[in-house]
Amino acid sequence: MLLAVDVGNTNISFGLLERGKLVHHLRCESARQRTADEYAIVVRQMMDLYGIDPKKVDAAIVASVVPALTETMVAFIRRGFSVDALVVGPGVKTGMPILYEDPREVGADRIVNAVAGFEWAKSTVIVVDFGTATTFDCVSKKGEYLGGIITPGVQISADALFARAARLHRVDFAVPPRAIGRNPTQSIQAGLIFGYAAMVDGLCARLKRELGDDARVIATGGLAPLIGKETVSIEEVDGDLTLNGLYLIHKRNVA
């Protein structure tokens, strides 16, 4: 069983895959102060909760955008499962040429998403990830990573709004009944949900003009199901896209 770990700025996803199929998806907070031993306890407890035998884990791969946690993840996997994890980074075979000016500056999660997105589309693809930042990653018809767009995430934008506007209160992320809000809650929700959906459609349209109108669009990330259905550009939402990409990269490095 492969343990795939996606370390984000807000959350860490732990995927357990057998023969390329994701059988369990566990999550916890990206707590930089936790030690490798503490993460081992947290993950083993989550596995116990779902009746997962830790002895079945015989391989691991990590993609991290939090440098302070990368070695912590490697250490916790070695101690908890007696496995040396493959870390996505320079020297790892992705099967995808990176055409960024400096490939080392591309976040590991963006490359992993691009690999999984291209596997889904088999052609030109835009991958939209609704994470701490909302990212748009572009892959050519030849399977080359071209680059993309980084924007503030929905939660970051909401936090900034509530912090700077004294009379506005926090709201749930939910689709309001109409774009014209009849109260502050609906007005904020319309701005966050419809506003980001419009941004996604606008940026995807601009990217397609550069890539070619046949580019396909897939989305992932926590708010992808909510915002994705309010867009016209997103064809597919896959909450497990990054973990599936990690499986593909691991397979290409052990074959």
Supply the residues annotated as catalytic: 109
CATH of 103-241 among 1.20.1280.290, 3.30.420.40, 1.10.600.10, 3.40.630.30: 3.30.420.40
What is the arithmetic mean of pLDDT over 34-48? Answer: 94
- Tell how strand 86-87 and strand 21-29 pair up: unpaired
Q: Indicate the DSSP class of residue 194.
A: I
User: Which of the four pLDDT bands, split at 50, 70 and 90, describes residue 255?
Assistant: low
What is the arithmetic mean of pLDDT over 215-236? Answer: 96
> pLDDT by residue (tens digit) across 1-40?
999 999 999 999 999 999 899 999 999 999 999 999 999 9
Note whether 217 and 235 are within 8 A (CB). yes
Would you say the CATH fold of 103-241 matches that of 2-87? yes
- Per-domain boundaries in the chain: 2-87, 103-241
Instruction: Order the strands of the 21-29 sheet from edge to edge.
Output: 21-29, 11-18, 2-7, 59-64, 86-87
Q: 2-87 domain in CATH 3.30.420.40?
A: yes
**Is the pTM higher than 0.75?**
yes
Name the token pair of 84: 């040396």
> pLDDT by residue (tens digit) across 94-105?
999 999 999 999
Name the token pair of 12: 């860490």
Per the prediction, the chain carries an average pLDDT of 95
* Residue 83, number of CB atoms within 10 A of its CB: 16
What is the arithmetic mean of pLDDT over 160-188? Answer: 94
Q: How far is CA 63 from CA 68, 109, 231, in A?
A: 13, 6, 29
The 3-state DSSP class for residue 131 equals coil
The C-alpha angle 190, 132, 81, rounded to 5 degrees, equals 140
Q: Alpha-carbon distance 185 to 172, whole Å?
A: 8
> pLDDT by residue (tens digit) across 104-156?
999 999 999 999 999 999 999 999 999 999 999 999 999 999 999 999 999 99
> pLDDT by residue (tens digit) across 178-224?
999 999 999 999 999 999 999 999 999 999 999 987 999 999 999 99
